[in-house]
Structure 1
Amino acid sequence: MANKVTVIYAHPYTGSFNHAILESVTAELSAQNCEYEVIDLYRDNFDPVYSNEELSMFSSGVAVDPKVKAYQKRIQASDVLIFIFPVWWYSLPAILKGFIDKVMLNNFAYEDTSTGIKGKLAFNKCLAITTSKSPTWYLKYFDGNSIQKVFLNLTLKGVGAKKTHWINFGKIKQSNNQTRSTFLQKIRQDVAQLL
């Protein structure tokens, strides 16, 4: 069983299917008696845009935003990260991309080496749960598989993730209550296995 899970949630609408996924994930974490925290980027009014001051301190890895410092503490204490977000324009929502840019800083998440970066974080597992208008097979085989290849395999493994996994609910506009309910049940099973 994981010691600590941090859920990073990036969707602005509480009536969305992404929010239903968040509720299913946290319900399963509670059922497993797992210690967890949720970082809700929109509810926190997280600013994903670098300020001039922040960017001037980028190379030193110093965080200016107090929210960034708080997020770093949560991530540093985590064994598992679970990301929940919609796939917009075949990639991450801007708020989540800004979260990665501003939180995964040099000297916190990684250190520079002669061959690139070396991860410094110690979370063992990372799960990304997404929704998309496109079918999952289309994202994987015709759109470059950016969530798996770039976000999970390069970015998150680059800062320390040992194992990563991606689950997508595709064709969301054509879905119905039954397919959504089935997916939410599967998510609970996947989270239980992850722990």
Structure 2
Amino acid sequence: MKALVVYCHPKPVSYTHAVKEQVLSTLRAAEAEVRVIDLYGEQFDPRLTGQELTLYADVAQNQSGIETHCADLMWCEALIFVYPTWWYGLPAMLKGWLDRVMVPGVAFHMPAEGEDIKPALTQITQLAVFTTCGASWWLTRLIGAPGRRTILRGVRLLCAKGCKTTFAAHYLMDSAQRPSLTAHLARVDRKVKRMVRWAK
């Protein structure tokens, strides 16, 4: 199993960091091949520039400056996102990564007139989100859970047909206590182990 973990959190010590470490520990214990993109750790620039937008559809040039990220994306069979949910959606850093790295020729193929884009990440058979939310489950669902929708629906359309999805969120983070936090890490472990079984 070739797993790419895209991690997004600005603090080196956080519960989201603990979730990421649990994901990595479980993957490595299962002898999966793992690559990690730490967006804040590498000070990734999430801004899509005017020049990048001009070259967006040019598959010969649109990977300039993001070559390693694109290569990792095209390498993986399982794409895993670990991030906090802020304002019911993705952190700006992660949204910017999608804007800049999910380019034509890497993530999808540009459509012919009157058609939708065609998937290019067809080697990805599993897609996962591990996140935290300050809001409750019901309030997040009332708003529409746009972060979950963007990745598990939108990005999934670029992956293999029948791509399996995994989702785990810890809600009400602002008032969470240790027993709940510990139990959630165990849940993350179980879900990652299930992903590994699916890959066999």
TM tier, smaller: over 0.9
Deviation at 1:120, TM superposition (A): 0.5
Alignment of 1:39 onto 2:40: no
Q: Superposed, which structure 2 residues align to 1:12-51 within 5 Å?
A: 12-51=10-49
1:134 aligns to what? 135
Alignment partner of 1:58: what SS? Answer: coil
Residue identity in the other structure for 1:23: E
Mapped partners of 1:92, 1:189: distance in 2: 24
Deviation at 1:150, TM superposition (A): 2.8
Mapped partners of 2:189, 2:67: distance in 1: 30
In the superposition, the TM-score normalised over structure 1's length comes to 0.92
Residue identity in the other structure for 2:146: S
Alignment partner of 2:143: what SS? Answer: coil
Query: What stretches of structure 1 move > 3 A for 4+ residues in a row?
Result: none
Mapped partners of 1:58, 1:74: distance in 2: 19
1:123 aligns to what? 124
Alignment of 1:63 onto 2:75: no
1:72 aligns to what? 70
Residue identity in the other structure for 2:32: C
Deviation at 1:152, TM superposition (A): 1.5
Alignment of 1:176 onto 2:174: no
Residue identity in the other structure for 1:11: H
Alignment partner of 1:22: what SS? Answer: helix
Alignment partner of 2:169: what SS? Answer: strand
Mapped partners of 1:8, 1:146: distance in 2: 18
Deviation at 1:53, TM superposition (A): 1.9
2:158 aligns to what? 159
1:149 aligns to what? 149
Equivalent pair of 1:153/1:164 in contact (CA under 8 Å): no
Equivalent pair of 1:82/1:127 in contact (CA under 8 Å): yes
Residue identity in the other structure for 2:5: V
Mapped partners of 1:115, 1:49: distance in 2: 28
1:99 aligns to what? 97
Mapped partners of 2:16, 2:167: distance in 1: 15
Task: Please list the CA deviations of residues 83-122 of structure 1 after superposition, one character each: whole Å capped at 9, or x if unmatched.
Answer: 0001111110001001001101012110122321111112
Deviation at 1:50, TM superposition (A): 1.6
Structure 2 gaps of 5+ residues are none
Mapped partners of 1:165, 1:138: distance in 2: 21
Cα RMSD between the aligned structures?
Answer: 1.2
Equivalent pair of 1:119/1:157 in contact (CA under 8 Å): no
Equivalent pair of 1:117/1:158 in contact (CA under 8 Å): no
Deviation at 1:24, TM superposition (A): 0.7
Deviation at 1:10, TM superposition (A): 0.3
Deviation at 1:165, TM superposition (A): 2.5
Residue identity in the other structure for 1:118: K
In the superposition, the TM-score normalised over structure 2's length comes to 0.90
* Worse-matched range after superposition: 54-63 or 6-15: 54-63
User: How many residues get paired?
Assistant: 189
Mapped partners of 1:8, 1:188: distance in 2: 17
